[in-house]
Structure 1
């Protein structure tokens, strides 16, 4: 409950601040200007409850006034006869007209009061306590209403007018209307041809006829709300489809990027392998270079039967008159390193030469071109 009270107090304070500002007057003026731009038929459609029938006693006759978008229009006078009042009540009931009783200001006791601004949210209760001091009547003897004349910022900045009507006088006025009294939506007071905007009729006695224009406006409002909800649902649906299409596009782009990454890795692996083979090939002397170097270093009395290169290992099989001397000759080669005879040297009886097997290793690139002369 304390939280609800604080919320109610905050809402009342916010409403009072709004009422004390210029916004309500500016808003009403703006609405009036916009309403004036519409055709008369449209204004009648939008007015709804502002269209009403006003009744006013004029001696033994009843004056009728129509109030609508174009102001008040006099409809003439009718005699206060039961048959006439019954027929008028039937017409009002058939057309669902809002009917008000207009009283002259001489019938109402009026008092102007200065109250604190905080009294506005509970103005009727505050005025009920002021009845005993401001009037000779008690609350049970009268009907009363209050209207705010001005709002100030001082401690007694709320200027209010209290309007009091004896209950007996009101009952007499209603009794004179006969069956029309049950159709009244309210009772107001007239001052210099203008209504004060009050309703002195008790809430239990007010009639609320079905207003076709109000019903039409309600249907239009419901249709507008349904159209708005449909538009929002359509927007959400379109955005959902667009989100799904974007997700599909992102998934396809991700898959393409994954394929491109695999192809790039494969190309990099292939290029790395090719570069490695090229580097290995470049690090070794070509067969022509090796043959040229051997032909220049091996003497003429030596013949090679077999020359094999396996990786960096070179194997030479042949015949020579001085096989041990070949090791010294090949040590000076810039292409070979670690030359040595493999196995025993055997003499060939037919050729008179020594059969040998000599092995060596290709010199690494860092050791090639070390400045040794051939």
Structure 2
């Protein structure tokens, strides 16, 4: 908030007890007419950078009127120059506030008269000894107004942080000592409270963004004319962007249809390929039926596998050495052979075997000629 608005607010508050609320209502009503981008350019909206440590990482968020957006998460420690190079000149121009975790601060609720709003910091400073186990010279503090009661009193929250905590913060990131505009604290949900626990003399001073506009008040008429022309041009640009967006949507839909058509073709080709592969091998049911007829009694299978044109059988049998002869001569496979040596199984007193064979191509389906296709001799 700029100096002239601070002075106006303090004067209005002294003139009438309800002036502070009127000023807040009047300011919100005026800001509602301005686009958010203009509010930011004119310095009328509270936009800042929040930095806080999450383990060994430094999180950087953009806080715009309580709406936090994560910009980056980089390893700690980092110097202000590295962060400025990462964010760019536009974001680096925003004030930087360090966010302390909720357990680092002490919060106490107070109820004060409405007249204390003009000197809230001085009033709550006298309450530190009574509300906290610290003295005023052992802590840094700030206060925020939570709400206005019907009886004219204020609900205020006192936020206190020991000086040792900020000293430790300066020790951890000494390069940030002169680059911070404030130190805030998070509540139980991790949201910033909106206080500034950094002493005024330690805060980074930035140029008032309203100074340039104050010098241009004499050219208000010219600015209004330029603003009108710019708004007209912006409307045309917006219409062109909308048209381009529609073209992009149509093009995206066309690309999506093309991709879906290609996917469908790939699925059809894949299904045809698998059908051809299945046609080249006998069905598993026929193989199993053939095995059931050829394997002798006293033979148990532990594994039956058809993979890549290869038949593999693993099991136990009373006559394992004769299995190769029993499986020869089948139209569904060829070259049956035992793999490895036969191993006796002590529990069942049978031989454990592993037998492999190559599957043959499935026989072509027989087609019978219909009467109309038969050739009749004269």
The structure richer in helix per residue is: 1
The higher radius of gyration belongs to 1
